[in-house]
Amino acid sequence: MQKFGFIGLGIMGSAMAKNLVMAGFDVTVWNRSPEKCDELVALGARQAATPREVVASAPLTFAMLADPAAAEEVCFGKNGVLEGIGDGRGYVDMSTVDPATSQRIGFAVAATGGRFLEAPVSGSKKPAEDGTLIILAAGDRTLYDEAMPGFEKMGKKVLHLGDVGRGAEMKLVVNMMMGGMMAIFCEGLALGGKAGLASDDILDVVAAGAMANPMFALKGKLMGEGNFAPAFPLKHMQKDLRLAVALGERVGQPLFAAATANELFKRASAAGFGAEDFSALFKTTAP
């Protein structure tokens, strides 16, 4: 039975780790607030006291932290991953971080003699629970192969995109497109509303045509109900747009549509909607 570590049991991490436990893997978990481990321990997982212990005991450890700061702390902090990794053991960081942070963590892990793979995911809570995430891996190819049995329980699609940084970049590219789509979607609904069109009619026409997509269908319905409970917080979408625009600057790609979407999301954040779902952009599109 393959042995895995799993660091970080937030909304995404606990669902992903649960899929590994239920699949019968021998999983050792850690979370900053230890009580988050209880449910998985009851299901058969082991609990470690520190990230160091996890990576020292398992040949391959997955991590799912909330943001670059947490990912860095777990890696570089006291009793962190760097203190326990080495000897070819693997660290697969599935957190969404900017490409530079990912590369920093990757170099540090490799310097200990360990192996590193970044593997950010596309998808939110429900795909995490259902094991239908899209996994965007990049980095050590051998580690990718060894992680595959675990990936297959967490995701419906796994890609290897190249060197460390490529996974983080793919995540940004995809989230940038999502942000731009939400921006024009909100403007279309707002324009139609002011022109006297019923928003159900607009959603019907969109759903019947070449543009039809699950995001517009789901969000359109929730927006019509005034339901902006966060599946993907607006402030995180704006952060991803900022990172995408910065990536554009680094590689010499101007991004007029993305930069405009970034300011639109900033406006919504500044208006107080940062913790709501990113579809709350509608509230400042048509105030």
Report how far residue 53's alpha carbon sits from residue 131's, in angstroms, rounded to the nearest whole number. 27
Report how far residue 243's alpha carbon sits from residue 266's, in angstroms, rounded to the nearest whole number. 13
Nearest 5 degrees, angle CA 62-CA 114-CA 20? 20
Stretch that binds its own copies, among 12-20, 75-83, 108-116, 254-262 (CB under 8 A): 254-262
Residue 214 CB coordination number (10 Å): 7
DSSP calls for 112-147: TT-EEEE--EE--HHHHHHT-EEEEEEE-HHHHHHH
Stretch that binds its own copies, among 2-10, 68-76, 145-153, 204-212 (CB under 8 A): 204-212
Q: Answer whether 124's CB lies under 8 Å from 240's CB.
A: no
Give the tokens for residue 248: 């554009």
Is 67 an interacting residue with respect to its own copies (CB under 8 A)? no
Give me the 105-124 binding string for its own copies, x by CB under 8 A, dash otherwise: -----------------xx-
Q: Considering only residues 48, 58, 74, 264, which one is a binding residue for its own copies as defined by CB under 8 A?
A: 264
Residues near its own copies (CB under 8 A), total = 74
Instruction: For the segment 171-200, give every residue that binds its own copies (CB under 8 A).
Output: 172-174, 176-181, 183-185, 187-188, 190-192, 194-198
Among residues 71, 17, 70, 78, the alpha carbon closest in space to that of 43 is found at 17
Report how far residue 175's alpha carbon sits from residue 111's, in angstroms, rounded to the nearest whole number. 31
Among residues 18, 171, 219, 283, the one annotated as catalytic is 171
Stretch that binds its own copies, among 4-12, 22-30, 77-85, 160-168 (CB under 8 A): 160-168
State the nearest-atom distance from the C-beta of 218 to its own copies, in Å: 7
State the nearest-atom distance from the C-beta of 138 to its own copies, in Å: 10
**7-21 CB burial, b ≥16 within 10 A, e <16:** bbbbebbbbbbbbbb
Instruction: For the segment 231-250, give every residue that binds its own copies (CB under 8 A).
Output: 238, 242, 244, 246-249
Instruction: For the segment 128-157, give every residue that binds its own copies (CB under 8 A).
Output: 134, 136, 156-157
Which is nearer to its own copies, 55 or 203 (by Cβ)? Answer: 203
Report how far residue 163's alpha carbon sits from residue 141's, in angstroms, rounded to the nearest whole number. 9
Question: Active-site residue 78, yes or no?
Answer: no
Instruction: For the segment 206-235, give every residue that binds its own copies (CB under 8 A).
Output: 206, 208-215, 218
State the nearest-atom distance from the C-beta of 208 to its own copies, in Å: 5
Residues known to be catalytic: 171
